[in-house]
Structure 1
Amino acid sequence: MAQYSAQLDGVLVALADQTRRAVIHRLGRGPASVGELAREFPMALPSFMKHVRTLEANDLIRTVKSGRVRTCTLNRERLALLDDWLAEQRRIWEGRTDRLERFVIDSEEDQQ
């Protein structure tokens, strides 16, 4: 459980930044070189590379270097970690709202 929590924390921290979310969004359409990705952002390449390294360190993207070109691909399986957590939260809150709804209905019936 501790490892799962640490992995989830890393994914959430990586996705907390707007630039990194935009990179993930772009890679959802297919692989792209670092240069192609960086062109979309008003920052120097070394600054952009910090974002790439953060995404790579949290296994959200994978990079492969061929000559001078580093190509990034999205690791869709890693996003499943976030999807699983969100589904669990959704179940918890839906259960709570269902209980609240039953409480309200039962209270209304008792008052009649």
Structure 2
Amino acid sequence: MINFFEIVLVLVIVGLGGWVYKLYQDKNESDREAKALAKEKDEYAELGQGLAEYNQKLQEKKEQAQQKIFDLIKSKGKISNKEAAKALGVSSATIRRYLDDLEAENKVKQVGKVGQQVFYKAI
């Protein structure tokens, strides 16, 4: 007949087997999570690279537009917001931002305060 010691031994072995099985499941789950995080990290890296390229293109476009405005000012002597907006095909708000940047770089100077009398000259 099975004595008390053998019953305890069987229960310990079954318990250890269950514990090892649980550890194995936890390890597999951790591995899946690690792979998912690595994939997500790679996707974010690709996204970040795409944003950097996009921002670089926008910056180049802005610099080209500012150079075109500066060239127009040099050729005409002065230019208004309206003339610059028409020449570049952009809004007057965009031209104001471009001209403000050129003014901050000390490339152009605003003459006049407000209205249609405002124009910009090269420094």
TM-score by length of 1: 0.49
More strand by share: 1
Point out which structure has higher relative CO (alpha carbons under 8 A, 6+ apart): 1
More helix by share: 2
Between structure 1 and structure 2, the one with the greater Rg is: 2
TM-score by length of 2: 0.45
